[in-house]
Amino acid sequence: MFALIFSTLTLSLCAVGLTANTSLIQSPGALVVREGETVEIRCVLNSTNVNYIVKIYDVHWYNSRNGIQLLSLSVNDHTYRSRGFSKRFQLSRDDASNSYSLTIREVKIADSADYICGIWGDIFGNGTQLNVTIANPPILIQFPRLERVTEGHTARLWCSMENAEVGNTDVHWYRELPGQDMEWVLTHEAGGSVRRRPGFTERFQPFKDVSNSSFILNVTNVMLNDSAVYYCTVWGDIRGNGTQLNVTEQPYEKLSLKILGAIVACVLFILLCSILAIAVCYMKKWVCFQHIFKPEGNSTEGLNPVYSTVTVETKTNTEPAPNVTMSAESEIFYADIQFVRQNAKAPTLAVSEETTEYAAIKRA
């Protein structure tokens, strides 16, 4: 029991001395490495009063990217890692040099940050700036540089990539409208899933052509407001040269033909309706005429009138009729009557009639 109290008191005294006279000297101050390499950052525990042993203190590591504790090594050598930090990040302590070490294997571009060691919550090292560069960065070449598409059709934008595999790379598509800032359109992840910005429908379809090492963006049923400069990007900051998409209206000639066709169809329809109306009107008149001028029970022949022609001749009676006593001054009239039906060339009926007048006619 006495030993435990003494040990606790000793640690308390050490803590007081540690806070007032101890520092952490971190090295190197900056590191520039290529992606895939291994780096080591060291923090030496230094004190002006007493030579402290590093194994009696927990050490914590932070970075400037998110400002939270990322890794820690406890006194029993247990390593704590925040989410997203794998076993590529290794912590250790060296009693001989009185130092702590952070080793990062197979560094990535995303590992670039300022790393800081700390103990007791208020003693920190001076920090190490880690910059990870790309040994052979991808190269993105977009084509065509200018894509002209009539509205309603499909535009296809190509983005060819070198020095990296298309199938294992996320690609992000952006666009820049005239006079506006660049905006994110969608992301086609390496696993195949697609994330779109709200407002961008499935008219925007991304594809990957592994055989040609290319990313493709199809814009179907293009509209006039789709006109913009489209960019493909990978690894966050590697961008293509851009493709200008110009969407034009329907050609004037085709539009004129459509309008002309509509006008002709409308005129023909009106003309047909007029002809039908006239035919119906004349049909009604003909029915009315038939009803008025055709007596009931008569044949259609009665509707065809017959005109008569009368020719009269007068002759002096020189030969008296038998058994008839006539005066010398009596005259005989002869009449020829012809009946002709309308629109007939020959007489329908011809009748001759002889009339004897027993009258005295005085001649002038």
> Would you list the DSSP string of 108-137?
-GGG-EEEEEEETTTEE---EEEEEE-SS-
Report the chain's C-alpha Rg in angstroms: 59
Asked if residues 19 and 122 have their Cβ atoms less than 8 Å apart, the reply is yes
Taking CA atoms, 216 is separated from 1, 174, 193, in Å, by 74, 13, 15
Residue 166 region by backbone torsions, left for phi larger than 0, else alpha for psi between -120 and 50, else beta: alpha
Task: Determine the pLDDT at residue 181.
Answer: 93
DSSP bridge pairs for 174: 184, 231
Kind of pairing between the strands at 214-219 and 204-209: antiparallel
E-only strand ranges, 170-252: 171-176, 182-188, 194-196, 204-209, 214-219, 228-234, 238-239, 243-248
Ordered strands of the 39-47 beta sheet? 22-27, 39-47, 99-104, 89-94
pLDDT tens digits for the chain (364 residues)?
333 333 443 444 344 445 567 888 999 999 988 888 899 999 998 875 555 677 788 889 888 766 666 888 888 888 888 887 888 999 998 888 888 999 999 998 888 889 999 988 888 999 999 998 877 888 999 999 999 999 999 999 999 999 888 988 999 999 999 989 999 999 999 889 999 999 999 999 999 999 999 999 999 999 999 999 999 999 878 999 999 999 998 776 566 677 888 888 889 999 888 898 888 888 877 777 766 655 555 554 444 555 556 565 655 555 555 554 545 555 555 566 665 555 555 555 555 555 555 444 444 4
Residue 26, token pair as written in the block: 């971190």
Q: How far apart are CA 289 and CA 281, in angstroms?
A: 13
Q: What does the block give as tokens for 272?
A: 């047909």
Residue 247 to residue 346: CA distance in whole angstroms? 83
pLDDT at site 233? 96
Backbone angles phi and psi of 154, in degrees to 5: -115, 135
Does the 139-248 domain belong in CATH 1.20.1090.10? no
CA distances from 356 to 311, 319, 363 (A): 16, 12, 17
Q: Which fold has domain 20-133?
A: Immunoglobulin-like (2.60.40)
- Give the tens place of pLDDT for each residue, 86-130: 889 999 988 888 889 999 999 988 888 899 999 888 889 999 999
- The sheet carrying 214-219 orders its strands as 139-143, 155-162, 214-219, 204-209
Q: Is the peptide bond before 322 cis (omega within 30 degrees of 0)?
A: no
pLDDT tens digits for 242-288? 999 999 987 765 666 778 888 888 899 998 888 988 888 888 777 77
Tokens, residue 239: 């961008």
d(CA 291, CA 295): 8
Length of the chain: 364
Answer whether 20-133 and 139-248 agree in fold: yes
Q: How far apart are CA 170 and CA 178, in angstroms?
A: 27
Tell me the two tokens of residue 100: 């702590």
Comparing CA positions, the residue from 250, 268, 272 lying closest to residue 260 is 268
| C-alpha dist (Å) from residue 311 to 8, 15, 101, 304, 351 | 166, 162, 151, 23, 11
The strand pair at 139-143 and 182-188 is best described as unpaired
List Cβ neighbours of 293 (8 Å cut-off, separation of 6 or more). Answer: 303
| Domain ranges, ordered by start, for the chain | 20-133, 139-248, 304-357
